[in-house]
Chain A
Amino acid sequence: MEDSTHHMIDHSHSSRHGSLVSYIIGFVISIVLTLAAYFIVQQHVSSLHETFSHSFITFAVVGFALLQLLVQLIFFLHLGRDAKPHWNLIVFVYAFLLLLIIVVGSLWVMHHLNYNMMLMPPAEVDAYMLDK
């Protein structure tokens, strides 16, 4: 009994904290993703905003960020490698869901408020309001 309990704890420890190899893999992938996003933007700026479309830049750069989030969650924070039933992962997923609702919801609302419309200069807002 004593032995098997000890073995269980020991096992969960070694798998939970990862290894040197997993840290190096996470580090290298993170650097590659950071540089990839950086060079896309640098290329775009040095070509006076003509190389890529703005929607392509947004999708690519945000995509790289989300990938890097995933890489660091797995290789640095060892998410999902805690003992079952994976409470760390469960509360993370729940928090992430609430977070998306708050951020996406807030931006959605703000985009539709007349006097707080983003990306619209004051003169255009006034013209829009008079039109209504």
Chain B
Amino acid sequence: MTQDLSENKTVFGFWIYILSDCFLFATLFATYAVLHGSTFGGPGADTLFSLPFVLAETLILLTSSFTAGLAMLAGHQGKRIHVLVWIGITLLLGLTFVGLELREFAAFIAEGNSWTRSGFLSGFFTLVGTHGAHVAAGSLWMIVLMVQITKKGLTDTLMNRLMRWNLFWHFLDVVWIFIFTFVYLLGIAL
């Protein structure tokens, strides 16, 4: 009973951290919204972004959010191998996402459109880069979790960590919905 209550407390505490992280993203979204028209003669959102590319990124991250949930379900059923397999798949999808994003960034920079080009690009790189850094951190977390679960099994402590990582990963997909919508879709359409 005591154990269970303290677990609930750490998950609740982590939930509050996630909500505070929402404020970080909210301020970056507001900054981007203010700067997105300031292209300083450089390319705007409509000429820079590619629709099919960003759809692929979105579907990869959405699928990884789903497989993260399946890892959590397998954890509650006590199936260690299933947990490891689902985290492994989520990790691959997460790394693919980060790789695609780095390729996009590299292509922009190679064309001379880095964050120093215009206010719009500063806002873009800060917002999307901060999200990408979160995804990279979540991927590192998955590697640590996989090693720990392999060594120690699904102990109470590790189930607790799995739960928090699961919240974190779902949160990153929720943030991406808004990057996909406001930065990419509306940037291209309007």
Spell out A's residues near B (CB within 8 Å). 5, 9, 13, 17-20, 23, 26-27, 30-31, 34, 37-38, 40-42, 44-45, 49, 54, 57-58, 61-62, 64-65, 68-69, 72-73, 76-77, 87-88, 91-92, 95, 98-99, 102-103, 106-107, 110, 116, 118-120
A41–B186 alpha-carbon span in the complex (Å)? 8
A31 contacts B62, CB within 8 Å?
yes
B51 contacts A61, CB within 8 Å?
no
Q: Is B92's beta carbon under 8 Å from chain A?
A: no
A61 contacts B170, CB within 8 Å?
no
Q: Which of B93-101, B126-134, B142-150, B172-180 contacts the other chain?
A: B172-180
Residues of B within 8 A of A88 (CB): 12, 15
Spell out B's residues near A (CB within 8 Å). 1, 4, 12, 15-16, 19-20, 22-23, 26-27, 29-30, 33-34, 36-38, 51, 55, 58-59, 62-63, 65-66, 69-70, 72-73, 76, 167, 170-171, 173-174, 177-178, 180-182, 185-186, 188-190
B26 contacts A103, CB within 8 Å?
yes
Residues of B within 8 A of A31 (CB): 59, 62
Residues of A within 8 A of B19 (CB): 91-92, 95
Give the number of A-B contacts (CB < 8 Å): 125
A99–B180 alpha-carbon span in the complex (Å)? 19
Most buried by A among B33, B62, B70, B171: B62
B62 contacts A95, CB within 8 Å?
no
A43–B58 alpha-carbon span in the complex (Å)? 19
B174 contacts A72, CB within 8 Å?
yes
A36–B20 alpha-carbon span in the complex (Å)? 31
CB distance from B177 to the nearest CB of A (A): 5
- A41-B188, A45-B188, A106-B30 in contact; A17/B76 too (CB < 8 A)? yes
